[in-house]
Amino acid sequence: DAKTTQPTSMDCAEGRAANLPCNHSTISGNEYVYWYRQIHSQGPQYIIHGLKNNETNEMASLIITEDRKSSTLILPHATLRDTAVYYCIVRVNYGGATNKLIFGTGTLLAVQP
């Protein structure tokens, strides 16, 4: 299973862009990169996912390197409510029937006023 590596924590000033890196050097060709976040004592919230192309939605942008060994989640204008643990996950596939999300340690993003 492909593993991910993320910094333990990051700070970001309110209103500035938050760039959260993730390494997934052992990712295989058919594995997607998912990003979720977890605000304290809540269930994880989906942010964005991608395979090889850069993706953008109303919450964030996902930049995946050409070799797919790393990616960056960009929150364009961070607010205090974006303070959370951000998880970068590579989706595993067992026998094609069940895809599990295995969480790593994540990055605690603290948005500072």
Partner 1 sequence: GAVVSQHPSWVICKSGTSVKIECRSLDFQATTMFWYRQFPKQSLMLMATSNEGSKATYEQGVEKDKFLINHASLTLSTLTVTSAHPEDSSFYICSARVTATNYGYTFGSGTRLTVV
Question: Which residues, including other chains, have CB under 8 Å from residue 61's CB and lie 6 or more apart?
Answer: 48, 54, 55, 73, 74, 76
Q: Does 101 bind partner 1 (CB under 8 A)?
A: yes
The rounded distance, in Å, linking the Cα atoms of 50 and 28 is 13
Q: Does 103 bind partner 1 (CB under 8 A)?
A: yes
List beta partners, residue 74. 19, 61
Give min distance, CB of 69 to partner 1, in A: 22
Residues 61-90 as x/- pattern, contact with partner 1 by CB under 8 A: --------------------------x---
The sign of the dihedral angle between the CA atoms of 46, 51, 52, 53 is negative
Give min distance, CB of 16 to partner 1, in A: 26
Residues in touch with partner 1 (CB under 8 A): 34, 36, 38, 41-46, 49, 87, 98-106
